[in-house]
Amino acid sequence: MTEASSKKLNWYPLIILALVAALVLLFSLLVLEKTRVKTGSATAFEKAVQPSYRWRMVTTWPKNFPGLGTTAETFAQYVKEMSDGRLQIHVYGANEIVPPMGVFDAVSNGSVEMGHGGSYYWRGKSPAAQFFTTIPFGMTAQEMNGWLHHGGGLELWREIYAPFNLIPFAGGNTGVQMAGWFNREINRIEDLRGLKMRIPGMAGDVFNRAGGTSVNIPGGELYTALQTGVIDAAEWVGPENDLAFGFHQVAKYYYYPGWQEPGSTLELIVNKQAFEALPDDLQAIITVAARASNQDMLDRYTARNNAALKELTEKGVEVRRLPDEVLKHLRNISMQLYAEQAAQDPVFRKVYDSYREFLQMVTEYHRISEHTYFDVRERTQESLSD
Ligand code: CA
């Protein structure tokens, strides 16, 4: 044997061994990948190398309060499921960590990562924040969703919240609310005079100019305030929520329509640093979960409000429509207030201009679509039952 051929012969077993090892490795990887695809979840290895996050969310609502508190829980559940548990958010009710009106500051200063509430509670921080919940005689839920997500509204909201270190998302909508609970009949404009009512946001200013006195009391304290006569009237949300609080036990008249809150958007706020510390996929999960829970809340009210209203009327509640004269007066005051505030505050003006232009634009088509259809459905129903 020559020296060269002996070397060649010695290499064969090593090459075969290497080929077998490569095949075994390839096969194992294929099996692992198949298992992962099949179970749809990350492998133990993948989980071990990906960081996971535990966040806290404070809310302005009582823990698990129907519609409002449960939407915060729904959002947290969506995030947990979509992230396969990599981002878990514990939801705290009002006063568990911070009082309801302390939510904005707690998220802004990073004490907690997230909050759920309504932007109009923070009008003391920026008067323009109110547009992102609702304004009297403003947009409906459908219109708000269009403005926020396809009309520039969300960008403006983010601009207003940026100095506070917050990233806002729409996080639920109540639909058109009820005008509220009254222990006094409202037949004329004069009946509003001297009335002390829980009515937050810009609607409170309108109410004050109409001769009443507005106060903002968190939901959890409203029953007692009505019962003890601290206030004469209160608006909260609509039948499902109002029934849950038991307002029918302490007030006689239930007025509609909710001129003051025609489609209130709730907010999910995230601390900017906490959000930016997340990997891209978890940021996307938060965005999509917010969008889904925003819609889910409206769907829930659509499905449940009527049964709750029926239960309230069976309990003896008098459901009444506010007179046109009163509504027209409140509308005039609202428009005056917007004009005055826009003249004083350029930020308010900027958001108001966007809001007003969008509403005007969308109304033109809705006049011949949504509005006409509702009207036609009612009228044809009437003629059928004649
Ligand atoms: Ca309300």
| Ligand 1 centre distance from Cα of residue 185 (Å) | 20
**Cα separation, 252 vs 319, whole angstroms:** 9
| Ligand 1 centre distance from Cα of residue 68 (Å) | 11
Mean pLDDT for 223-247 is 95
**CATH class as words, domain 50-175+264-301:** alpha beta
| Ligand 1 centre distance from Cα of residue 380 (Å) | 32
| Ligand 1 centre distance from Cα of residue 314 (Å) | 23
Binned at pLDDT 50, 70 and 90, residue 4 comes out as very low
| Ligand 1 centre distance from Cα of residue 227 (Å) | 19
Residues recorded for the chain: 386
| Ligand 1 centre distance from Cα of residue 290 (Å) | 21
Instruction: Report percent pLDDT > 90 for the chain.
Output: 83
Domain with CATH 3.40.190.170 in the chain: 50-175+264-301
Mean pLDDT for 86-106 is 97
**Cα separation, 93 vs 70, whole angstroms:** 10
| Ligand 1 centre distance from Cα of residue 183 (Å) | 17
| Ligand 1 centre distance from Cα of residue 330 (Å) | 16
Q: Looking at residue 2, what is its pLDDT?
A: 43
Between CA 9 and CA 18, with CA 15 as vertex, the angle to 5 degrees is: 155
- Across the chain, mean pLDDT equals 92
Mean pLDDT for 103-126 is 97
Binned at pLDDT 50, 70 and 90, residue 32 comes out as low
Digit-coded pLDDT (tens) for 280-296? 999 999 999 999 999 99
| Ligand 1 centre distance from Cα of residue 178 (Å) | 8
The kind and range of the H/E element at 306 are: helix 280-314
| Sequence-separated (6 or more) residues with CB below 8 Å from residue 85 | 52
Domain with CATH 3.40.190.10 in the chain: 180-261+308-363
Total-model pTM: 0.85
Digit-coded pLDDT (tens) for 333-372? 999 999 999 999 999 999 999 999 999 999 999 999 999 9
| Ligand 1 centre distance from Cα of residue 177 (Å) | 6
| Ligand 1 centre distance from Cα of residue 258 (Å) | 8
Binned at pLDDT 50, 70 and 90, residue 50 comes out as confident
Mean pLDDT for 161-183 is 98
Mean pLDDT for 141-145 is 98
| Ligand 1 centre distance from Cα of residue 21 (Å) | 68
Mean pLDDT for 48-66 is 92
| Ligand 1 centre distance from Cα of residue 179 (Å) | 8
Binned at pLDDT 50, 70 and 90, residue 30 comes out as low
| Ligand 1 centre distance from Cα of residue 304 (Å) | 17
| Ligand 1 centre distance from Cα of residue 261 (Å) | 6
Q: Which CATH superfamily is domain 180-261+308-363 in?
A: Periplasmic binding protein-like II (3.40.190.10)
36, pLDDT greater than 80:
no
What does each C-alpha distance from 247 to 180, 251, 265, 282 come to in angstroms? 10, 6, 23, 40
72, pLDDT greater than 80:
yes
Q: Looking at residue 43, what is its pLDDT?
A: 67
| Ligand 1 centre distance from Cα of residue 344 (Å) | 26
What does each C-alpha distance from 119 to 65, 92, 153, 154, 275 come to in angstroms? 18, 18, 13, 12, 19
| Ligand 1 centre distance from Cα of residue 237 (Å) | 4
Asked if 210 and 204 touch (Cβ cutoff 8 Å), the reply is: no
Digit-coded pLDDT (tens) for 190-228? 999 999 999 988 999 999 999 999 998 888 899 999 999
| Ligand 1 centre distance from Cα of residue 372 (Å) | 27
| Ligand 1 centre distance from Cα of residue 326 (Å) | 18
